[in-house]
Chain A
Amino acid sequence: MKKAYWNPYLVGIGIGVLSWVVFALVDKPIGISTAISQASGAVVAAAAGSEQVAANPYWAKNVPAWDYGTLFLVGTFFGALASSLAGKTFKFEWVPQVWQERFGGSRVKRAATAFIGGALILFGARMAGGCTSGHGISGTLQLAVSSWVFFVTMFVAGLVTAKLMFVKK
Chain B
Amino acid sequence: MDLPIKGDVAIWLAVLFGFAFGVFLQKGRVTDYNVIVRQFLLKDFTVIKVMLTAVIVGGLGVLALHSAGYANFHIKSADMLGMIIGSAIFGIGMVVYGYCPGTGVAAIGSGSIHALIGAAGMLAGGMLYAFSYPWVKENVLTVASLGKVRLPDITGVPDIAWFALLIIIALPLFRALERRSL
Contacts and interface: CB of A to CB of B under 8 A. Distances in A.
Interface of A: 1, 3, 5-6, 8-9, 11-30, 32-33, 36-37, 39-41, 43-44, 56-59, 66-69, 71-84, 87, 89-99, 110-111, 113-151, 153-159, 161-163, 165-167
Contacts of B5: 25-26
B143 interface: no
A169 to B, nearest CB: 15
B106 A58 contact: no
Interface string B18-46: 11111111111101111001101110001
A92 B85 CA distance: 34
B176 interface: no
Interface of B: 3-6, 10-11, 13-29, 31-34, 37-38, 40-42, 46, 49-59, 61-62, 65-66, 70-80, 82-115, 117-131, 133-134, 136-137, 140-141, 146, 148-154, 159, 162, 174
A135 to B, nearest CB: 7
Contact of B125 (A78, A96, A113, A118): A118
A24 B67 CA distance: 12
16 contacts: A8-B49, A20-B71, A24-B70, A40-B126, A41-B127, A41-B130, A82-B19, A90-B111, A92-B111, A121-B101, A123-B93, A124-B85, A142-B74, A146-B75, A151-B87, A161-B92
A131 B101 contact: yes
A133 B54 CA distance: 11
A95 B37 CA distance: 13
A18 B55 CA distance: 11
B102 A32 contact: yes
B101 A153 contact: no
Contacts of A92: 111, 113
Given A121-B100, A155-B91, A56 B54 contact: no
B58 A17 contact: yes
Main secondary structure of the interface of B (DSSP, over half): helix
A123 B125 contact: yes
A163 B43 CA distance: 12
Contacts of A56: 130-131, 133
Nearest to A137: B54
A66 B15 CA distance: 11
A23 B60 CA distance: 12
Task: Please name the 5 residue pairs, one residue from A and one from B, whose CB atoms are nearest each other, closest first.
Answer: A75-B18, A79-B22, A12-B53, A118-B121, A117-B97
A8 B170 CA distance: 14
Contacts of B85: 124, 127-128
A61 to B, nearest CB: 9
B138 to A, nearest CB: 11
Contacts of A114: 96-98, 114-115, 117-118, 121
